[in-house]
Structure 1
């Protein structure tokens, strides 16, 4: 019976060791469960422009930040903002602010086609020999279609306002050159 008792104790001891080590082995095993990572910000680029122009009695200051989301290497969409101040001594001073929706297409890496819908609020104080004469506030809408040469993050090109009206548009010409930089 002692031999049988020893056999039962030994088998029980082995069973307990097996359970202890097997749970330890399972506890140490790492399972890889793939999870979809949010890589939204890896596709976002920030950029925009700064404009400064000074002359004989003339001042033009503009800040134009923008951000685009690269849907793929060919298509990007984004938004932009604009704030500006323009003044011509003894004639007028204007504050401009607004925003834009941007669409970019790169059919080949060196060529960039663009469409930009811009809505700008213009508030102008007209002067007569330095004295306020009257004020005018209105919204200006522009739809720019453009094309440019792209090298890395910089695009240089020209755009055309298809909604340009010589009597209503805030810019004197429908064609405008541009330099676009995104980081």
Structure 2
């Protein structure tokens, strides 16, 4: 009669799987400078987009703008946005964007007046896409001609992502 025991242990270490999250993130945005006779316009609007798959992307953006007309007004605008992109086919990009801006305006003249308010925009858009570049137009469905920061509800756009 015999009795035997067998014990074995094996420790396996597998390499930690790297997340592919950052491989699906693209960065872009806008930068603008405008100068003229007593006029200054400076804007910065970086954004990042996460490509969930080949059809759907979501992202965030921030924005700052400084606008001044000498002896007339000076304005600061800052805020953020959430954007969703849908690519039904490779060449077409549809978008929806919710933008919230804080606007501070100081009017100059015989009496100085300050106006501080929130401006909300809800944009729907469509564009033609060529790899990382999309050119198209977007429409602000919350546009009010008497209020807000934009001169028109329909605006062209050029989106470049890296």
TM band (smaller chain):
0.7 to 0.9
> Partner of 1:39 in structure 2?
20
Query: Deviations for 1:110-150, whole angstroms, at most 9, x for unmatched residues?
Result: 11111110000000110006xx6011111100001111111
Within-5 A mapping of 1:136-175: 136-175=115-154
- 1:66 and 2:75 correspond: no
Query: Deviations for 1:14-55, whole angstroms, at most 9, x for unmatched residues?
Result: xxxxxxxxxxxxx9xx96858643111111001101122233
Greater helix fraction, Structure 1 or Structure 2: 1
SS at match of 2:108: strand
- Cα distance between partner residues in 1 of 2:138 and 2:156: 6
TM-score, length-normalised on structure 2? 0.88
Deviation at 1:89, TM superposition (A): 1.9
Q: Which runs of 5 or more structure 1 residues have no equivalent in the other structure?
A: 1-26
2:90 aligned residue (109, 113, 127): 109
- State the number of aligned residues: 155
Moved more, 82-91 or 95-104: 82-91
> Partner of 1:182 in structure 2?
161
Query: Deviations for 1:129-178, whole angstroms, at most 9, x for unmatched residues?
Result: 6xx60111111000011111111111111111000001112111011111
Greater strand fraction, Structure 1 or Structure 2: 2
TM-score, length-normalised on structure 1? 0.78
Q: Which runs of 5 or more structure 2 residues have no equivalent in the other structure?
A: 1-9
- 1:54 and 2:35 correspond: yes
Larger radius of gyration: 1
> Partner of 2:81 in structure 1?
100
What is the root-mean-square deviation of aligned Cα atoms in Å?
2.2
